[in-house]
Every structure is written in structure tokens, then in C-alpha cells.
Amino acid sequence: EVQLVESGGGLVQPGGSLRLSCAVSGFTFSSCWMSWVRQAPGEGLEWVANIKQDGSEKYYVDSVKGRFTISRDNAKNSLYLQMNSLRAEDTAVYYCARVGVHPRAFDIWGQGTMVTVSS
């Protein structure tokens, strides 16, 4: 079964850090671009970052550049998002998503992990 399982969310103070993880199973992880997409409470979806199959290319939305780092470990079938200097506006459910068999579409999503930035 194809599955993405996020973990690492929680409550953190402004300026703090968190590392999200996404464990992948059921497909060849090393063959796919992967992304993080977030959704603030009651709001819409926002693409955050993506990473190429071998990790050689990474892209970020402007609002997280310099603060967030996406990475992957193909040997461990895992995707990561290191989030530093967190702000209240980063509060959201964070989903990992696969850009898989369908070009430029997110065909598999995890269940999401909640990140709350508050003092």
C-alpha cells in the first residue's frame, strides 16, 4: 500500500524550531519529486517546498526561504522539513505529497501533522 506518514508537529514558541518527517512506503521513493504543502486553520492550501529525486534541486515559497530546509534520505525512504525561526503565520497542518505518475500533480498525500506557533 502506498503510504505517506508525517510526524514531528507540535506546539513551539515564536522563534523556535521543529523538524517534520515523512515516512514513505509502497513505492520507489527515490524516483519521485516530493513536496510539503501546508494549510492554515480554516484556510486554503499553500505549496511550501519541493525537492528533486536525488536532492540536487530544492525550491521554496518566498515566505519560508532562509528559514525552512527540505531534505530527503532515499536510503531511509524519508522526507524532512527543518523549520527554524518559526512565526505565528507558520501555524498550519503540514502535508507531505508526492509528485508521482501524473506530471505536476500531487497524487499521494500524507494525513498531515499540525504545527502551532504560539507563546
Cell of 14: 515564536
Burial classification of residue 4, based on how many CB atoms lie within 10 Å of its CB (0-12 exposed, 13-18 middle, 19 or more buried): buried
Tell me the sheet residues that pair with 115.
10, 92
Does 62 interact with other proteins (rule: CB under 8 A)?
yes
Give the footprint of other proteins on residues 75-114 (CB under 8 A).
95, 102-107, 109-112
Which residue in the set 61, 71, 114, 116 belongs to the binding site for other proteins (CB under 8 A)?
61
Shortest distance (Å) from residue 61 CB to other proteins:
5
Does residue 54 interact with other proteins by CB under 8 A? no
Tell me which of 45, 53, 58, 84 binds other proteins, using CB under 8 A: 45
Of 8, 21, 23, 47, the one binding other proteins by CB under 8 A:
47
Residue 68 interacting with other proteins (CB under 8 A)? no
Backbone conformation region of residue 53, classed left if phi is above 0, alpha if psi is from -120 to 50, else beta: alpha
The torsion angles phi and psi of 65, rounded to 5 degrees, stand at -60, 135
